[in-house]
């Protein structure tokens, strides 16, 4: 990180300039401080243990918001370095985003499983009917693409979450979500077509 790797001499040469910016925190000086410490956002992001690739842009955005909030809330008179103060704000903002993301994904997982249950009537109390529904769902798997079939197996027969399935298949979670929706849509169409054919057979 550019800020952390600067030599002590360079840091000493810069500090008076930064102190001057803090003493006269105009709109222009505020923007300069934010720009100067933007590399810190990327540094904090790089230190995160859990950081899904598809969330990089959002995490960097959240970190930047944390940096801006740190600039607005910082008081040079308290004796705490801005680097430390900003680091904690940036990391806190990113972790809050990840916590919100986890809650959202859990809600989506529950909604997705409810959809599957409704489609194949897996919520029925009768064990016999539930078994019939599972058999029906499995009978449709050969009509799916290999990728769609694998997604349905992982999510609904092995009980993995979309996040876990993404790690198992080494792909992004959005890809898992797209394949899941495509597979369920195809299965519903197959069920509807099968029902129509059965109705026609009864007419004759």
Q: Which CATH class is domain 121-203?
A: mainly alpha
Per CATH, the number for 2-102 is: 1.10.1740.10
> How confident is the model at residue 140, as a pLDDT?
80
What are the C-alpha distances in Å from 27 to residues 23, 24, 31, 65, 72? 12, 9, 6, 16, 11
CA distance 196 to 30: 67
Q: How many CB atoms lie within 10 A of CB 79?
A: 6
CA distance 183 to 165: 15
Identify the CA nearest to 177 among candidates 168, 189, 165.
165
Which residues in the chain land under pLDDT 70?
Answer: 1-16, 105-134, 192-204
CA distance 167 to 150: 13
> How confident is the model at residue 124, as a pLDDT?
45
Q: For the chain, what are the domain ranges? A: 2-102, 121-203
């Amino acid at each position: 990180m550019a800020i952390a790797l600067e030599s002590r001499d360079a840091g000493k040469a810069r500090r008076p300039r930064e102190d001057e910016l803090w003493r006269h925190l105009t709109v222009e000086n505020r923007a300069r401080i934010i720009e100067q410490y933007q590399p810190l956002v990327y540094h904090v992001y790089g230190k995160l243990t859990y950081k899904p690739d598809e969330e990089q842009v959002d995490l960097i955005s959240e970190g930047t918001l944390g940096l801006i909030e740190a600039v607005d809330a910082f008081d040079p008179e308290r004796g705490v370095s801005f680097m430390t103060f900003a680091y904690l704000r940036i990391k806190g903002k990113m972790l809050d985003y990840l916590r919100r993301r986890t809650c959202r994904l859990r809600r989506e997982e529950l909604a997705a499983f409810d959809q599957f249950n409704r489609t194949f009537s897996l919520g029925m109390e009768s064990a016999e009917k539930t078994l019939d529904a599972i058999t029906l769902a499995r009978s449709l798997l050969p009509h799916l693409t290999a990728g769609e079939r694998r997604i349905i197996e992982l999510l609904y027969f092995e009980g993995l979450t979309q996040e876990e399935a993404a790690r198992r298949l080494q792909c992004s979670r959005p890809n898992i979500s797209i394949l899941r929706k495509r597979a369920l849509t195809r299965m519903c169409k197959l069920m509807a077509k099968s029902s129509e054919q059965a109705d026609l057979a009864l007419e004759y």
